Homo-oligomer: A and B are copies of this chain.
Amino acid sequence: MRLLFIGDIIGRPGRDVVTSELPRLRDLLKTDFVIANAENAAGGFGLTRLVADELFSAGVDCITTGNHWADQREILSFIDDEDRILRPRNYPTGVPGKGAGLYETRSGQHVLVLNLMGRVFMDALDDPFAAAEAELGACPLGVAADAVVLDIHAEASSEKMAMAHFCDGRASLVVGTHTHIPTADAQILPGGTAYQSDAGGCCDYDSVIGMEKYEPVQRFIRKMHGGRFSPASGPATLCGVFVETNARGLAVRVEPVRVGGRLKQSIPEV
Contacts and interface: CB of A to CB of B under 8 A. Distances in A.
Interface stretch (A58-66, A115-123, A143-151): A115-123
Contacts of A258: 184
Contacts of A205: 185, 187
A180 interface: yes
The oligomer's copy count stands at: 4
B127 A120 contact: no
A221 interface: yes
Contacts of A264: 184, 186
B220 A263 contact: no
A225 B91 CA distance: 13
A50 interface: no
A157 B130 contact: no
Interface stretch (A92-100, A102-110, A242-250): A92-100
A218 to B, nearest CB: 9
Given A185-B182, A205-B187, A220 B94 contact: no
A209 interface: yes
Given A208-B158, A217-B165, A92 B183 contact: no
A70 to B, nearest CB: 6
B91 A223 contact: yes
A124 B130 contact: no
A189 B208 CA distance: 12
B224 A70 contact: yes
A234 to B, nearest CB: 10
Nearest to A187: B262
A181 B182 CA distance: 10
Contacts of A93: 130
A231 interface: no
A200 interface: yes
21 contacts: A70-B224, A70-B225, A91-B223, A92-B221, A92-B222, A94-B222, A119-B124, A124-B124, A124-B125, A125-B127, A126-B127, A126-B130, A155-B156, A162-B220, A165-B208, A165-B217, A181-B183, A181-B185, A183-B184, A185-B200, A185-B263
Nearest 3 A-B pairs (CB), nearest first?
A: A119-B124, A184-B184, A182-B184
